[in-house]
Amino acid sequence: MKSDDIKAMQEAIKLSASSLKDETIPTGGPFGAVIYKNGEFIAGGYNHVLANHDPSAHGEVQAIRAACQKLNTWDLSGCTLYTSCEPCPMCLMTSKWANIDKIYFAATRKDAADIGFKDDDLYELLKPGVYATPLPECRNEAVEVMQQWLKKFSTNGKY
């Protein structure tokens, strides 16, 4: 790992410590993240799940939202995400949806489990047949809306 990567990770870890600011009520868990593009800081964020009453307000998601706003795009191709802890499945998939090229993390999901977070358990839910139940009776209706959307907004037959 290059010294620039280590400095960026140290920024993410510093943001994770923002959860310690208030002596009584944390903003959320001790997780922070920063996003860089071409060696330049784009955005950062830390967990606001409790402060925002929002289970999706993880540090990585906060950083992705801020980076998208700053760059005026949903596509973060060419960006690198540095996060103080291994991303939960939601944050990992959000990063992938945003086309982030590289993801570096410091602590592991096992470390998060050691302090009571369920990230590791959530990865277990990704096994086929565990995470959701299809309702095949409604599939055709849903697919029809998807096809209409594709016809209306796609220029190359896919999104």
Per-residue pLDDT reduced to its tens digit, 27-55: 889 999 999 999 999 999 999 999 999 99
**CA–CA separation, 156 vs 136, rounded Å?**
28
State yes or no: pLDDT of 157 exceeds 70: no
Looking up tokens 């470390």 gives: 111
Confidence band for 1, pLDDT divided at 50, 70 and 90: low
How many Cβ atoms are within 10 Å of 54's Cβ, its own excluded? 13
> DSSP labels for 12-60?
HHHHHGGGGSSSS--SSSS-EEEEEETTEEEEEEE--HHHHT-TT--HH
Known catalytic residue at 40? no
What separation in angstroms does the CA of 9 have from each of 14, 59, 71, 111? Answer: 9, 13, 21, 17
For the chain, how big is the Rg over CA atoms in Å? 18
**CA–CA separation, 134 vs 126, rounded Å?**
15
Q: Which of 11, 23, 40, 60 is catalytic?
A: 60
**CA–CA separation, 63 vs 44, rounded Å?**
4
- The per-residue pLDDT for 33 is 97
Confidence band for 25, pLDDT divided at 50, 70 and 90: confident
Mean pLDDT of the chain, nearest integer: 90
- Give the best-scoring range by mean pLDDT among 8-22, 89-103, 127-141, 143-157: 89-103
**CA–CA separation, 76 vs 35, rounded Å?**
9
